[in-house]
Amino acid sequence: MKKINFIFGVHNHQPVGNFGQVFEALYEKSYEPFLRILEKHPKVKCTFHVTGPLLEWLEENRPDYFKRMGEMSRKGQIEFFTGAMYEAILAVLPDRDKIGQIRMLTDYLKKKFKVEAKGMWLAERVWEPHLTKALADAGVEYVVIDDAHLKAAGFSEEQTFGYYLMEEQGETCAVFPISEKMRYLVPFQAVEETIEYLRFVATEAGDRCVVLMDDGEKFGGWPDTYKWVYEEGWLERFFTALEQNADWINTTTFAEYKKIYPSQGIVNLPTGSYTEMGEWSLPTAAAQDYDNIRHELQAKGEMHRYDRYLKGGFWRNFFAKYSESNHLHKKLLWVSNKVEKARLKLEKRSTPKQKAVLEQATQALYRGECNCPYWHGVFGGLYLNHLRFAMYRQFIEAEKLADLILNPDGDLEVTEMDFDKDGRKEIVIDGGAYHAIIAPARGGSLIELDYLKHPINLTDTLTRRKEPYHEKLKALREGKAGGTGVASIHDMVRTKEPGLENKLFYDPESRASMVERFLPLETTVENLLHGQYKELGDFHQAVFQHKLEEPKRKGQPLQMILNHPGLVDGAPVQLTKRLSLDPNDFDLKVLYQLKNLSSKELRFLFMSEWNLTMLAGDASDRNYFIKDRNVKETRLNSAGAELNVTEAGMRDGWLQLEAVFQTDKPAYFWRYPVETISQSEGGFERVYQGSCLLWGWQVVLPPEGAFEAPLSLRLKEKKGS
């Protein structure tokens, strides 16, 4: 009789910072019913990888579920997997954090469930060859990846039914490939199709192994799956079919299979992830071409010949594709280095309190490394502002704690360095109540502003970019798309609100603050909202010269001069920004100075642009305000234009924070919401990313004439708001 070994597992994950109601809903729709049905089939073995954020939530909120998992583990029905505690993309972490994250989850499982996890789930199956040694150093003996990794190395499907050994610097780790075929069968097709596929790959020797380990949320948590998986009984039928065919399907675990069968030999895997991730990480135009090529080959019935060679992009491409992802990652590296410096300092001498602070800083750092906000596809949370907010909050907390060890007096620290690793230096300022980063080579702009008392990165907005899937929305606008949804989660055209196809606006460059725009006099706020305006100047992305004057005495402001001789409507103009920055509370004063270096008169709108976020565009406790003036629309997702304003800003009652702009030269005050249209597993959705606030003046510059205008931004704590 032909036989086959079948390893089945689930990866259950919720990211750091996700809403409590999401944890609740997925517990009810996916995690609990899956475990309940699995308990009814004790002969069906299953591997569980549950990430740190979800384990912590379950332990606190669903202790009975936690206990049931432990009982099933003790009976041998469940094999627990380790991994990065907070589901980080290990390849892009410093080695110390790679090993630290894995050991943290391994220790947690040992403490809570009395197991020594030797197998590992790799977040998003993002593989790079150097990982082998780090995994071995962390005590990992085997890891799962996609069979696409082996196929990219030239292997056929026939060669993916077992495990292989990888080596790096003399250290080894076994690798089990997950079957892509099974990922698409389970649970979306009839149970019989899965059984027939297993029958097809079974052999007389019975030594082959088919692995299916995938998101647990697809069993009830993905759109339309709860009815199919539970109400219509798919999972019950699946487990029953495995039991009924136990004479030739051996449902086993990774540990059991590895104990009995030898490896298939040595493998050297190229960088990669699962097939869809390869597509998502490509630049937009390349991703469209890639998708077209795959559809053409499928239509011709030739995909089986070329599939292994269509690899797509590389996960790290997200750092090049999205400047916000790159900035978040470089914040990770900056904070990780600070925490490591604190650890090294305490090696010489430390108190129990300092050790506790370092432990808290390390955990906050690891939480901020959670992968979800660093990338984007149908899944991935880059477009979800609450997830980016959560990562920055963790990094700010980790940095504050590390500074208690490194800089206990809270002295102002200024560092000139290439923060974002693009070959150009930024100025990193650590004040008593804030962290700020100014980029002279990006228009002398403010690219990060962290408020420490109620941790938030106020400049964490997102650029409105063209995405490949926007073509599906445009097809709706043009009447070329039929229906409101399709079967595949990767192809669905489902919208969470009508008319999204008419709100596709794009930005010409990445968003930042303290950006200067020179615009035609007839420009309106609607032009800027729609991304349809003419830029008369070349200052917004110019390389500014800068001169820094640090305080001579504690408590004095930091002074900085940024200047650039550029062009306005073809004529030479000198722009100087004179900055004064309080070393303690965030109080930034900017004096703008324009000098016409030409012999012709210039007329234009001069606008100072600030992109700030307080997370919720339609919340009643987050509003715009203008001093001594009633504003009709105050919600942060509203647009408006006011004349002769000297003080205005944004107020957040939840964070108890106010951002106040002031000028003694009455100005235009314009604002509009920065909203993106992105695709998620639930369909297309509009997400408020922040607000664009513009302060400006009509300027007439005679030949050799000058113009001057002051503007300040102050952050204020508003207790009881």
List active site positions.
124, 215
Half-sphere exposure of 1 (CA within 13 A, CB side): 8
Half-sphere exposure of 682 (CA within 13 A, CB side): 8
Q: Is the N-terminal amide bond of 262 cis, ω within 30° of 0?
A: no
Whether the Cβ atoms of residue 647 and residue 668 lie closer than 8 Å to each other:
no
Rounded to whole angstroms, the Cα distance separating 227 from 381 reads 26
For 573, the enclosing helix (H) or strand (E) is strand 571-581
Looking at residue 372, what DSSP letter applies? G
- CA 472 to chain CA centroid, nearest Å: 23
Q: Is the N-terminal amide bond of 187 cis, ω within 30° of 0?
A: yes
Tokens of 619: 């919340």
**Token pair 């709108």 in the structure block, residue:** 605
- CA 465 to chain CA centroid, nearest Å: 16
Give the closest residue to 225 by CA, choosing from 26, 493, 11: 26
Tokens of 570: 């073809």
Question: Alpha-carbon Rg of the chain, whole angstroms?
Answer: 28
Looking at residue 88, what DSSP letter applies? B
| Structure-derived torsion over alpha carbons of residues 493, 497, 499, 502, reported in degrees to the nearest 10 | -80
Looking at residue 159, what DSSP letter applies? G
Give the closest residue to 658 by CA, choosing from 691, 633, 630, 622: 622
Whether the Cβ atoms of residue 284 and residue 463 lie closer than 8 Å to each other:
no
**Token pair 């972490």 in the structure block, residue:** 93
